[in-house]
């Protein structure tokens, strides 16, 4: 199901991602310890009131090394930042 871009953005910001604006919005993960930016990131087009299609949400999930269901859980706060970070460390996507 498509989701509003502002809902996705808000969910990512709550989970340790920081936004940088270029010609797209880029969200880069920062650890709970405040370590340097990690190589886990996704990109979203500008437009807070637009819907993001299922296909694009799936691509964003893949960029964050998640299934689509896990990505929805991350955005909806059913997957805690600590749990996400533990998954990324376990799979060696972050140090």
**Tens digits of residue pLDDT in 43-71:** 987 665 789 999 999 999 999 999 999 99
- Sheet holding 25-29: strands in order across? 17-21, 25-29, 41-44
**pLDDT score recorded for residue 12:** 95
CATH of 3-90 among 2.30.30.90, 2.40.37.10, 3.10.310.30, 3.30.920.30: 3.30.920.30
Q: What is the pLDDT averaged over residues 6-18? A: 94
The pLDDT value recorded for residue 47 is: 65
Domain ranges of the chain: 3-90
- How confident is residue 81, by pLDDT bands cut at 50, 70 and 90? very high
| 61 touches 84 (CB < 8 A) | no
Other CB atoms within a 10 A radius of the CB of residue 21 amount to: 8
Residue 70 structure tokens: 């896990």
- Cα gap 12→18, rounded to integer Å: 8
Average pLDDT of 38-46?
A: 84
């Amino acid at each position: 199901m498509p989701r509003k871009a502002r809902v996705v953005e808000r969910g990512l910001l709550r989970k340790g991602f920081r936004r940088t604006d270029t010609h797209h919005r880029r969200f880069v993960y920062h650890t709970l310890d405040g370590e340097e930016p990690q190589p886990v990131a996704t990109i979203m087009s500008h437009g807070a009131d637009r819907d993001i299609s299922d296909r694009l949400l799936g691509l964003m999930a893949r960029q964050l090394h998640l299934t689509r269901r896990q990505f929805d859980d991350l955005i909806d706060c059913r997957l805690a930042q600590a749990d996400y970070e533990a998954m990324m460390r376990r799979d060696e996507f972050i140090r």
